[in-house]
A and B are shown apart, each in its own frame.
Chain A
Amino acid sequence: MRAERGPLDRRRFALALGGGALVLALALAAGAGLGAAGAGFGALAPDAPAAARAILWDVRLPRVLSAAALGAALALAGVAFQALLRNPLADPYVLGVSGGASLGGVLALAAGLPAAGLPVTAFLGALAALAGLERIATVAGRLDVLTLLLTGAVFNATTAAAIVIVQTVASREELHALVFYLLGRVPALPGAALGALSLAAAGVAVLLFARGRSLNALALGEEGALQVGVEVESVKRQVFVAGALLTALAVSWAGLVGFVGLVVPHAVRRLAGPDHRLLAPLSALVGAAFLVVADLVARVVVAPRELPVGAVTALVGGPFFLVVLRHRRGRGDG
C-alpha cells in the first residue's frame, strides 16, 4: 500500500502548494515587469506616462493572466487524460478535441463569420468532437481506453483533411487568421473569457482533488480499483468530460499550444509524487507559471517581433518528452 492511498500529509501538501504558488508569483512578476517595450515597474509611479501605464495594465497584464489561466487549464487537462489513460505521457490533443475545435473555427471563417465568433464555433466543434468520441468509445456501457485513443487519432486525421479541403476550396483571405490560430498563441483574453477559463480550471482542480484517491487507485489498474470500491466508470467519465472541456476552452482561445499538458504533470510527478490530490492543484500552479514564462520568451526573444508561444512550448516540450521517453525505456517501464 503506497502512501498516496492513505490520508494526505497536510504539511507536505501545504509546503508543495506554497512552493507552487511562489513559483507562479515570480513568473507573474517577471511576465508583467518584462516586455518588448522595456523592463521595470515605472508604470506604477503616479506620474507615469499614459503609454507606460497602458502597456502594463492593458497589454501585459491581461496577457500574463491569460497565459496563466491557459497554462493551468492545459496542465490540468494533461493530468486528467494521463489519469484516464493510465499513461503519464498521454497527450490531451490525442483525443481529437483540438481537431474538432479547429474544424469548427475553419468552418466559421469559411462561412464568413467575423473573427470574434471563432472561439465560439471552435468551442462548439470541440464539444461535438467530445460527444462523438464518447459515444464511439463507449463499448458495452464502458469507456474503452484503447478505442478512445484510436478514435481520437483517426478523428484528428479526418478533421485535418477536412480543414485542408475547406481552406483550399474556400480560399478566403480570412483563413489566414486560422494559421495563427493553429500555431498557438496567447491572446489577451477579455475579462469574461478569462473568468470563465479560470473558473473552469479551478473547478476541474477541485474535481481531480476530490476524486484523487479513486484516481490513485485507478493508476494501479482498473480491476484493483474496482476491488477497493472505486466506481471506475463514473470516475473515468467525469475526468474525461472535465479534461476535454478544459482542452476545448484552451484550444478555442489560444489555438494549439502543445506539450504543456505533457511536460508539467510529468515534471510535477517527478518532484512531488503521483498522488493526484497534490498532483492536480500543483500542476495547475506550475502549468500557469510555465506558460507565463514561455509566453514571456515568445514576447521578447525576437522583439519587436513575436513568436507564437506554441513554438516555444514545443521547442521545450519536444526534447523533454524524448528524454523522458528514453529514460523510461531505459528503465524498462515505458
Chain B
Amino acid sequence: MRRRSAGAPAPAPAAALAALAVLAACARSAPPPAPSPAPPPAGARLGVLAPAAAETLARLGAAERVVAVGDWVTWPPELAARPRLGSYDAPSAERLLELGVDTLITTASAAGRAERAELARLGIEVVELDTETFEGTLAAIAELGRRVGREAAAEALVEEIRARLDGIARRVAGARRPRVLVAVGREPLYAAGPGSHLDELVRLAGGENVVADAGAPWAMVSLESVLARRPEVVLDSADNRPGAARGALPGEWARWPFLPAVRDGRVYHIDPARLSVPGPRLPEMAELVARLLHPEIFGPPRASDFGPPLAGEAR
C-alpha cells in the first residue's frame, strides 16, 4: 500500500545512484553468500520482491527455492533472513546474477519496466503478479504453484481461501452494511479505494467503503469529504511504527466527535502487517474485518486482532 504509493518512478540517474547505494550497503552489511547446507533443488532459483509471493511460497513449502528477497519482505522469518536484493522496484542486477537468481517474482507495476527489460537481456525471467485484488492474489498463488511444481498444494490453498471467504460473505448477507473508512496514511490522509484488496475485504465482510468513488486503489482523499460521509467504522492502519497504539482507540480521530465511528467507539488502530499483504492470509484478514464490522455475527474483536506484529516479523 504505502510502498506502492511511495514508489515514484525514479529517473535513470537516480536509479543508478540507488543501485550503487544498495550495492554499497550490501557490501557492508550482508553476510557473504555462504554455501547453504541444503542447496536449492534443480529448477527455478527465485528472487522475490513481492511480500505476498514470499508468504505464498513459504506456505506452499517452497521456501528453499527462494535465494534472495527484496527489502519489503519482512515475513515469514525464514525468508526475511535471505540475502537482500535491494529496494522494492529497483533490484540490483549484479546481485541477482551473483546469487544465481533466474526468476524474479515481483508485482505488476509500470515503475520498473526499464529494469525488467534490462533483466530479460541478462537472462533473468521477470514474473509480475497482481497482488492487489482477490482474484489477482488467487491467480498469483496458482502461478507460483506452477513455477515451483506445487500445483496441487496451490490449488488446495486457493480452494481453501475461496471457501473461507465465501463462508464470510454468506454470513453477512442481509446484514446492514456500515459505512467504513480504511485509512492507510495520515498527513496527508490516504484511504483504500476501489481496486484494492482492502476495499474488497470491506465489501466482502459486509461494509460500504465511504470512498468507493475514489477512483484509485490508494487515494489521497479529502478530509472534509470523509467527515461529510460520516463513517460508522474507521479501520486505521496508517501507523506502522512498532510501538504504535493498537486497538479500539479514537486516537487522532477524537478531533471529530460527531463521527459515528468515534461516538460509538468503533475506530480501530490495526498493525498494517495484519492487513497490508494480500496472500495466503486473506481469510484471516477477512475474518478480522468481519469481526470489526459485524461483531453481532462474528463475535467481538480480540486484543490479538490489532497487533503486535506477526511473530518473528523483521522490522
CA of A38 to CA of B228 in the docked complex: distance in angstroms? 9
Flag whether B296 is at the interface (Cβ < 8 A): no
CB-CB under 8 A from B215, the residues of chain A are 302, 305
Tell which of B25, B224, B256 touches A36, judged by Cβ atoms closer than 8 Å. Answer: B224
CA of A115 to CA of B188 in the docked complex: distance in angstroms? 11
Flag whether A177 is at the interface (Cβ < 8 A): yes
Q: A169-B25, A176-B5, A176-B6 are in contact. Are A37 and B227 (CB under 8 A)?
A: yes
Kindly provide the distance from the CB of A33 to the nearest chain B CB, expressed in whole angstroms: 12
Task: Tell me the number of A-to-B contacts counted with CB atoms below 8 Å.
Answer: 107
CA of A303 to CA of B225 in the docked complex: distance in angstroms? 8
Interface string of B199-230 (1 = CB under 8 A from A): 00000000000010111100111111111101
Q: A164-B21, A187-B187 are in contact. Are A51 and B258 (CB under 8 A)?
A: yes
Interface size class of A (residues with CB under 8 A): 35 or more
Interface size class of B (residues with CB under 8 A): 35 or more
Say whether B224 contacts A161, CB under 8 Å.
Answer: no
Flag whether B114 is at the interface (Cβ < 8 A): no
Tell which of A51, A164, A169, A185 touches B228, judged by Cβ atoms closer than 8 Å. Answer: A51
Say whether A171 contacts B187, CB under 8 Å.
Answer: no
Of A168, A176, A302, A304, most buried by chain B (CB within 10 Å of CB) is A304
CB-CB under 8 A from B257, the residues of chain A are 50
CB-CB under 8 A from B228, the residues of chain A are 36-38, 51-52, 55
Interface string of B146-163 (1 = CB under 8 A from A): 000000000000000000
CB-CB under 8 A from B25, the residues of chain A are 168-169
CA of A176 to CA of B230 in the docked complex: distance in angstroms? 27
CB-CB under 8 A from B87, the residues of chain A are 168, 171
Say whether B222 contacts A306, CB under 8 Å.
Answer: yes
Flag whether A59 is at the interface (Cβ < 8 A): yes
Kindly provide the distance from the CB of A316 to the nearest chain B CB, expressed in whole angstroms: 20
CB-CB under 8 A from A307, the residues of chain B are 220
CB-CB under 8 A from B221, the residues of chain A are 304-306
Flag whether B3 is at the interface (Cβ < 8 A): yes
Say whether B224 contacts A35, CB under 8 Å.
Answer: yes
Flag whether B113 is at the interface (Cβ < 8 A): no
Say whether B220 contacts A305, CB under 8 Å.
Answer: yes
Whose C-beta in chain A lies nearest to the C-beta of B15?
A164
Q: A35-B222, A305-B219 are in contact. Are A51 and B227 (CB under 8 A)?
A: yes
Flag whether A69 is at the interface (Cβ < 8 A): no
CB-CB under 8 A from A308, the residues of chain B are 220
Flag whether B17 is at the interface (Cβ < 8 A): yes
CA of A173 to CA of B190 in the docked complex: distance in angstroms? 14
Tell which of B90, B188, B256 touches A180, judged by Cβ atoms closer than 8 Å. Answer: B188
A-B contact pairs, 13 of them (CB 8 A): A36-B224, A55-B224, A115-B187, A164-B14, A168-B18, A168-B87, A168-B90, A173-B6, A177-B187, A180-B220, A305-B215, A305-B222, A306-B222
Residues on B lying within 8 angstroms of A by beta carbon are: 2-3, 5-6, 8, 10, 14, 17-18, 21-22, 24-25, 71-72, 86-87, 90, 185, 187-188, 211, 213-216, 219-228, 230, 240-241, 255-259
